[in-house]
Structure 1
Amino acid sequence: MFGGHGVYLDEVFIAIIVGDDLFLKTDAESRPAFEAAGCRAFEYRSAEGRQVALGYWSAPADAMESPAQMLPWARRALASALRARASKPPARPRAPRAKPAAKGATRAPAKANGQR
């Protein structure tokens, strides 16, 4: 999809890595902090030539060198991902799939005159 790697935390997709760049999940609530820190949006060109922007922004440069400075940014990404997950309607349960007949199993032949 985007030519990078996905980063998960407890089954929650929070970031992507493209080349040497880390992009963290954002939403309307967290994006202003990324913009104020001078971060940039992750964008790519689609096969049709359209510029596509996803809801991921680069981490601040100083945070890339310090776990303590990265922590609040990672927490923002996790919170954004959790809000996105909570806003989705619950998935409809799937109908159970029919089990295939066991190998070698055959049906009993029907009796003559429609009797069983």
Structure 2
Amino acid sequence: MPRPIPELVTHATELFSPLGSIRSKAMFGGWGFYCDDLFFALIADETLYLKADTESAERSLSAGGEPFRYARKDGRMETMNYWTVPEEAMETPNGMRPWAQLALAAAVRARKPAKKAKPEACQ
């Protein structure tokens, strides 16, 4: 039986909808979000986090954002490059748009280039 979709997932999907084709997927006890098949956001412990990198994390920090942290099996805390957004961003799609666009840009920059095919051996 499929897992029911939490209200926060539905709300976040509505906030992201002007950006393109949004898809959510249950994963690791939380939810992941894709825009046109690009992973850019997650929900963990009832909190929305958006992808960031060195170019965008400072802006999130300046706005009072906090990074996504989780406890590893060995008890150590791990920090990932996903950050919370200001509360106002959670109110409307227009409020979310600049933050989501930063997350999508960070996801594009993080995308690994496709591996080149190895040339066939000469015979």
TM range (shorter): 0.7 to 0.9
Match of residue 5 from structure 1: 31
3-state SS, counterpart of residue 33 of structure 1: helix
Match of residue 91 from structure 1: 115
Q: Which amino acid aligns with 1:18?
A: A
On the 8 A contact 1:2/1:44 being kept in 2, the answer is: no
Taking the TM superposition and a 5 Å limit, the aligned residue runs for 1:52-71 are 52-71=78-97
Distance 2:54 2:94 in 1: 24
Distance 1:11 1:75 in 2: 15
Match of residue 101 from structure 1: none
Instruction: Decide whether aligned partners of structure 1 residues 46 and 92 sit closer, same or farther in structure 2, where only a CA change above 3 A counts.
Output: farther
Match of residue 106 from structure 2: 80
Residue 92 of structure 1 deviates from its aligned partner by: 5.6
- What is the CA RMSD across the aligned residues, in angstroms? 1.7
Instruction: Decide whether aligned partners of structure 1 residues 45 and 2 sit closer, same or farther in structure 2, where only a CA change above 3 A counts.
Output: farther
3-state SS, counterpart of residue 106 of structure 2: helix
Q: For each residue in 1:19-64, what CA deviation from the matched residue of structure 2 results, as whole angstroms up to 9, or x when unmatched? A: 3211000000011110000010000000011100111001111110
Structure 2 stretches of 5 or more lacking a match? 1-26, 119-123
2:55 corresponds to 1:33: no
Match of residue 23 from structure 2: none
Taking structure 2 as the reference length, the TM-score comes to 0.69
Structure whose CA Rg is larger = 1
Distance 1:61 1:84 in 2: 26
What is the count of residue pairs matched by the alignment?
A: 92
Distance 2:48 2:108 in 1: 19
Match of residue 14 from structure 2: none
Q: Which runs of 4+ in 1 moved over 6 A?
A: none
Taking structure 1 as the reference length, the TM-score comes to 0.73
Distance 1:2 1:58 in 2: 18
Distance 2:76 2:28 in 1: 13
